[in-house]
Amino acid sequence: MENLIPTTYSYLAVSAVMFALGIIGVMTRKNGIVVFMCIELMLNSVNLALVTFSKMWEVNSPETTVGATGSMLVFFVMCVAAAEAVVGLSVIIALFRNKLDIDINNVNIFKW
Q: Return d(Cα 89, Cα 24) in angstroms, integer.
A: 20
pLDDT of 16: 95
Ordered mean pLDDT values, 10 residues apiece, the chain (112 residues): 75 94 92 88 90 76 62 82 87 82 73 64
pLDDT of 64: 60
Q: What is the DSSP letter of 101?
A: -
> Hey, is 7 helix, strand or coil?
coil
Q: What is the DSSP letter of 29?
A: -
pLDDT of 93: 86
pLDDT of 1: 58
pLDDT of 38: 92
- Rounded to two decimals, the pTM is 0.75
